[in-house]
Amino acid sequence: MNTLIGLLAVVLIFIIVFQLAKASDLMGILKGEKEGENTEGANKTQGLLLMIFMIVGLIGVVVGWLIYEPQLLQGGWSFVPASMHGVEINSSFWITTVVCGIVFFITQAILFWFAYKYRGREGHKAQHFSHDNKLEIIWTVIPAIVLTVLVARGIETWYDITSEAPEGARIVEVTAQQFNWTVRYPGADAVLGQREFELISGENALGINWGDVKSQDDLMPSEIVLEKGVPVLFKLGAKDVLHSFYLTHFMVKMDCVPGIPTQFWMTPTVSTQEMRDHRNNQEFDYELACAELCGRAHWNMRYVVKVLEPAEYKSWVASQTPFYENVKASLAPPADAIPAGADSTVTVPVEGDTTKPSIGEKESDTNVISSL
Amino acid sequence: MAELHNPAIEVHHDDHAHAHDHHGHDDHGHHELNFIEKYIFSQDHKVIGKQFLILGMAWAIVGGLFSIFFRLQLAWPDESFPILEWFLGGWAEGGKLSADFYYALVTMHGTILVFFVLTAGLSGTFSNFLIPLQIGARDMASPAMNMGSFWFFVLSSIVMFVSLVIQTGPAAGGWTAYPPLSALPQASQGSGLGMDLWLISIALFIISVALGGLNYVTTIINMRTKGMDFFRMPLTIWAFFFTAIIGLLSFPVLFGAAILLEFDRLLGTSFFLSDIYVAGEALHHSGGSPILFQHLFWFLGHPEVYIIILPAMGIVSEVMAVHSRKPIFGYKAMVFSILGITILSFIVWAHHMFVTGLNPFVASIFVLFTLLIAVPSAIKVFNWITTLWRGSIRLNPAMLFAIGFVSLFISGGLTGIYLGNATLDIQLHDTYFVVAHFHIVMGLAAFYGMFAGIYHWFPKMFGRYLNSTLGYIHFYVTLVGSYAIFWPMHYIGMSGVPRRYFDFTVFNQFNQYADLNKFITVAAIVVFFVNLLFVINFFYSIFKGRKVTVQNPWGATTLEWTAPINPGHGNWEGDIPAVYRWPYDYSINGRDFIPQTEKLGPNESEDHDIGSDTPKPTEKVPGENLH
């Protein structure tokens, strides 16, 4: 019923506006408006309206910025992001914003000002002005120089961020699937055990080869826990479709691609507790989100990330038991047998066998994966 | 008959007469066509242009309505809207949109607007309508192929429309159709039959683009009238020319990608698939790369945004010159900046893929080329602004939309400088910042170009005027609404809120913009309705608008205004006019304008930056090449 009334109201408004517009055009014709021409009055009205739009609009942009900028991220882009490289992204952002902001205000103001100032008036003639090579050169060279600076800075920062992870960076493997994440830590040996996608089953979500000794100390916690100040290398993958590993506050984003390992390293600099205090919100948690459309529940892949102080981190690690302990019992016969659900032709590699690289060992080539 | 000196015209005329097995070989222009020949299976470029426009408008309403549906969900995720159930039935049971169908709507909104409205509806309409009229030709090089171009668009439209009403729904993997999601029916309902139909529809659409594009290029190269050398063409024609070239070079790549994707789906090949475990099963696909599809897709996808924006730029340049009563500033710089954009458009595609694991060095090359595109874009903006300077501007709806275009192009172009920078893209990629950027710079700006063109050439198309009061209302509400919808999205995006989210309430970090989301939705609804008002104005004015009684109401220099008010098939009744000067002689020699058809006076030289390569009036007739 409400819908019907709403629709009727819209139709009624349409009819009224339409009739008024028809009358207004007719009036113009009766007043002797020349076909194709605008009267001086019409030009003035339109010119003024454009000026009002420009002035109100530019003020709106400033006010909007003042209101919303402090709310962006964790207290505005001026706040130090929770990761080391985030600071660099941040300063690039500010440089770009200042440059673009200046250009934006000047060009918009001139555009609308000219439209108003040079509106058609009686007795006023346009000036034929077809080209000026000097002007053209000026506004080719200046943008070129400014952009060169932005490109140079952008690329420099980009190389910093995408450089090799430092020695001793902690490895955290994150595997995406519809519609959640599975996390694996390499355990005490700092090496992830082997995985095969053919081994994936209901019990073995990642297709871990339990026969590989390196996998037997791997941890599979239900949240991502990081140590403040220690570089971490995320090794990313996906089981079914594309996903994207996205940590807003750390300014980390990298797609998870089935069949092609990707990675991203960063150093968290603000612990969860520090961020809670800063935001006056003890409920706050860093959240991992998916940033690549992956199906009907793409929006629902929340996963908590915690950054702990070094001492807390140590005790957290100590409290974890390798995932192998949970599944050992169900893996019969024990020791180096073929895992449940696996194809019997898959040979179980012994320790040190590197003929078949697994995701955990592809470190060196992930950087050059571009497929083309 | 005496009027047929131009051999090109004769050829065309004969073809035409034979095609209809008509006896009146000689009486050009008096040859009776029945209703179907004249309005449905017409070979007249003007009718075909109007057909593209009207079908494009129909799709724009559908695509726009879809955006209103999903905006309702984003603004009021907990409310239910009975009207949704009325429109969508089981997809919105109880008035609540299902997540599956939300993604279907998003996907269809993108596909429809990008391909059917802003490619077919914009370039299809104006290339068809204006190319022969502005270069002085009776029709396209191949009117039959031209008709085919429209009817392939119709076929494509029908297939896409069918996909909207099938049980599993239309494609739901985004307009980019990235595999594996788009390849695996197990992964998404929309990846079933809906995806097959999407791929078939796009393939048919690409055939339409190819048929049209070949015609545009051939016509512009071969069928210019006497004296119409390249540097006497209006900027509209330059823009359509390069648009067609981009389309011809890039759309076939998407055609290939679509076929390979269909092979993966139907035949079990592994072009784009590898190591997949889905729905409790490890698939046999091995060795393919989902990233390869993205390369192929964006090799079209990025040039596609220039296919959309270049015609709008051409239209705006022309409209601005006419209504400022001034030559477009820096004609040649405008031509070369279109050429620069055309070339660069082919080597920037991977800026859509900075966070796919692309090699950082490769990415940095794409950063360079991407930001380089800002240079020709900046030249164009400064030239438009300078065109206004010391003009005598007629602020009618066409001109207002042209000014609005420049404003939006500046706003959206500047945010491109953020996104083209791989460093900033890490944070901004796939957030609302991107949504704001591309909607403003290619969506809205292209729409404004289209509106400028419609208000400007409506009198030529239908021999009547649009109601200008409604035009003003349309402009201001749309302008304010455009910024009201998309400006706040920059803030939402800067705080990292991802796009393509059905519901933000799950995440504490994305859930703080409920008010802005409501504001945006209300603005979108208002803009949608005011554009419906435009559609009403359009159809009403075709039949009841004020009649055009003068041949050249805007006082324009170009050739279409030398044709009769309601030109028949063949455009000019007598000889095709010859051209003696460039199209921008406004406010010169004490005159308001000098049409292109007027010979240079004894003391006159072509006063603009054409320089020494000005052709002599003894030019050969381009049409002779046909023999």
Position A344 confidence tier, pLDDT thresholds 50, 70, 90: very low
Confirm whether A104 is domain-assigned. Answer: no
Give the residue on A whose Cα is nearest the Cα of B427. A251
Confirm whether A143 is domain-assigned. Answer: no
Position A26 confidence tier, pLDDT thresholds 50, 70, 90: confident
Q: pLDDT tens across B338-360, in order?
A: 999 999 999 999 999 999 999 99
Is pLDDT at B20 greater than 90 in this prediction?
no
Q: Give the pLDDT confidence score for residue B369 in this predicted structure.
A: 94
Confirm whether A205 is domain-assigned. Answer: yes
Calculate the average pLDDT of chain B.
90
What class does CATH assign to B42-272+290-544?
mainly alpha
Is pLDDT at B307 greater than 50 in this prediction?
yes
Position B604 confidence tier, pLDDT thresholds 50, 70, 90: confident
Compute the average pLDDT of residues A280-298. Answer: 93
Give the residue on B whose Cα is nearest the Cα of A179. B187
Is pLDDT at A291 greater than 70 in this prediction?
yes
Dist CA A241 CA B285 (whole Å): 13
CA distance to partner chain B, nearest, from residue A204 (Å): 11
ipTM value, please give it: 0.90
Q: Give the pLDDT confidence score for residue B411 in this predicted structure.
A: 96
Q: Retrieve residue B341's tokens.
A: 């954009």
Compute the average pLDDT of residues A327-352. Answer: 52
Compute the average pLDDT of residues B159-175. Answer: 93
Compute the average pLDDT of residues B524-542. Answer: 96
Confirm whether A301 is domain-assigned. Answer: yes
Instruction: Using alpha carbons, list the distances in angstroms from residue B440 to A182, B74, B160, B408, B571.
Output: 38, 20, 26, 6, 36
Length of chain A: 372
Position A79 confidence tier, pLDDT thresholds 50, 70, 90: low
Q: Give the pLDDT confidence score for residue B34 in this predicted structure.
A: 80
Query: Cα torsion for B217, B222, B226, B227, to the nearest 10°?
Result: 60
Confirm whether A241 is domain-assigned. Answer: yes
Q: Give the pLDDT confidence score for residue B512 in this predicted structure.
A: 87
Compute the average pLDDT of residues A312-319. Answer: 94
Count of domains for chain A: 1
Is pLDDT at A356 greater than 50 in this prediction?
no
Contact B606, B579 (CB under 8 A): no
CA distance to partner chain B, nearest, from residue A1 (Å): 9
Q: List the strands of the sheet with A224-227, edge to edge.
A: A224-227, A303-308, A286-290, A243-247, A252-256
Main-chain phi, psi angles of A35, to 5 degrees: -55, 130
Q: CA nearest B322: which of A305, A273, A37, A216?
A: A37
Q: Give the pLDDT confidence score for residue B79 in this predicted structure.
A: 87
Confirm whether A38 is domain-assigned. Answer: no
Judged by DSSP in three states, A305 sits in: strand
Is pLDDT at A272 greater than 90 in this prediction?
yes
Is pLDDT at B120 greater than 60 in this prediction?
yes
Optimal mutation site among A103, A158, A236, A244, interface B, most CBs of chain B within 10 A: A158
Q: Which of B188, B418, B431 minimises the CB distance to A96?
A: B418
Q: Give the pLDDT confidence score for residue B102 in this predicted structure.
A: 94
Optimal mutation site among B107, B271, B369, B424, interface A, most CBs of chain A within 10 A: B424
Q: pLDDT tens across B446-503, in order?
A: 999 999 999 999 999 999 999 999 999 999 999 999 999 999 999 999 989 999 999 9
Is the N-terminal amide bond of B327 cis, ω within 30° of 0? no
Q: Give the pLDDT confidence score for residue A75 in this predicted structure.
A: 63
Dist CA B524 CA B407 (whole Å): 19
Calculate the average pLDDT of chain A.
85
Is pLDDT at B386 greater than 80 in this prediction?
yes
Confirm whether A33 is domain-assigned. Answer: no
Residues of chain A contacting B414 with CB distance shorter than 8 Å? 100, 103-104
Compute the average pLDDT of residues A261-286. Answer: 92
Is pLDDT at B620 greater than 80 in this prediction?
no
Position A360 confidence tier, pLDDT thresholds 50, 70, 90: very low
User: What angle, rounded to 10 degrees, do the helices at B331-344 and B235-266 form?
Assistant: 10
Q: Give the pLDDT confidence score for residue B149 in this predicted structure.
A: 96
Range of the domain at A296: 170-340+356-363
Whether the CA torsion B65, B66, B72, B74 is positive or negative: it is negative
CA distance to partner chain B, nearest, from residue A12 (Å): 12
Give the residue on A whose Cα is nearest the Cα of B525. A10
Is pLDDT at B624 greater than 60 in this prediction?
no
Q: Give the pLDDT confidence score for residue A372 in this predicted structure.
A: 35
Contact A344, A262 (CB under 8 A): no
Q: Give the pLDDT confidence score for residue A327 in this predicted structure.
A: 84
Give the residue on B whose Cα is nearest the Cα of A286. B509
Position A357 confidence tier, pLDDT thresholds 50, 70, 90: very low
Name the DSSP letter for residue B464: B
Q: Which of A38, A108, A255 minimises the CB distance to B394?
A: A38
Contact B298, B352 (CB under 8 A): yes
State the CATH number of the domain containing residue A254: 2.60.40.420
Confirm whether A5 is domain-assigned. Answer: no
Interchain contact, B292 vs A372, CB within 8 Å: yes
